[in-house]
């Protein structure tokens, strides 16, 4: 999973650093709680972006469904973040989320002097390319992720093709428009 606040640099270019930190901490705090509640592991924060994985360090047969469900909750939580931002005179944010499924290497990465638990591999790069194509307020999943979920739980939009920078071929991706409710 990669998530990113759209047009973040433009949103905060005229804010003092203290307000930028307040906005980021509110947003990242909310998203962290949701990701952890759904069994995700946060690799890192990249400014306003979040890189997380599901199914590691503990394997889960339901990792893709957990990730999609998490992404839906994250998008819904943006309204709460924006209400608090508005009350504090901070700008509202829009987020895009990309999900991809595949094999990665998970473990301690770095050197003897500094290391961290993280994820590396081609599929992380693929996720990043999908996130580049995701629109504001959109959850965009790879075909591999969609096939790994119980699709009957979600509202899936029409597929589109992504020409991923630096990668041969194209990717088929699908917007997730919400969760179906049990009646």
Number of domains observed in the structure of the chain? 1
What's the pLDDT tens digit per position in 80-115?
A: 999 999 999 999 999 999 999 999 998 899 998 999
3-state helix, strand, coil in the chain (%, to 5): 40, 30, 30
Residue 183: pLDDT above 70?
Answer: no
Range of the domain at 49: 2-179
CATH number of the domain residue 127 falls in: 3.30.70.1230
| Structural element, H or E, at residue 68 | helix 63-87
**For residues 97-112, b (16+ Cβ closer than 10 Å) or e, as one string?**
bbbbbeebebeeeeee
Asked whether the predicted pLDDT for residue 179 surpasses 90, the reply is: yes
CA distances for 112 relative to 44, 106, 116, angstroms? 19, 17, 11
CB atoms inside a 10 Å sphere around CB 148: 21
**Measured between alpha carbons, how far is 171 from 142 in angstroms, rounded to an integer?**
7
Residue 182 has pLDDT above 70, yes or no: no
Q: What is the mean pLDDT of residues 134-161?
A: 96
Write out pLDDT tens, residues 20-78. Answer: 999 999 999 999 999 999 999 999 999 999 999 999 888 889 999 999 999 999 999 99
pLDDT score for 57: 86
Determine the pLDDT at residue 93: 98
């Amino acid at each position: 999973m990669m998530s990113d606040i759209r047009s973040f640099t433009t949103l905060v270019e005229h804010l003092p650093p203290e307000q930028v930190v307040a906005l980021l901490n509110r947003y990242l705090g909310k998203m962290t709680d949701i990701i952890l509640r759904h069994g995700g592991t946060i690799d890192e924060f990249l400014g306003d972006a979040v890189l997380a994985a599901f199914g590691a360090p503990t394997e889960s047969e339901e990792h893709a469904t957990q990730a999609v469900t998490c992404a839906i909750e994250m998008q819904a939580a943006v309204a709460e973040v924006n209400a608090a931002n508005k009350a504090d005179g901070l700008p509202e944010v829009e987020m895009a989320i990309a999900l991809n499924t595949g094999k990665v290497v998970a473990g301690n990465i770095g050197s003897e002097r500094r290391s961290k638990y993280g994820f590396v591999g081609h599929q992380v790069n693929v996720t990043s390319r999908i996130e580049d194509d995701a629109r504001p307020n959109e959850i965009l999943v790879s075909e591999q992720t969609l096939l790994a979920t119980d699709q009957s739980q979600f509202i899936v939009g029409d597929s589109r093709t992504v020409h991923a920078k630096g990668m041969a071929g194209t990717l088929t991706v699908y917007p997730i428009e919400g969760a179906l409710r049990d009646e």
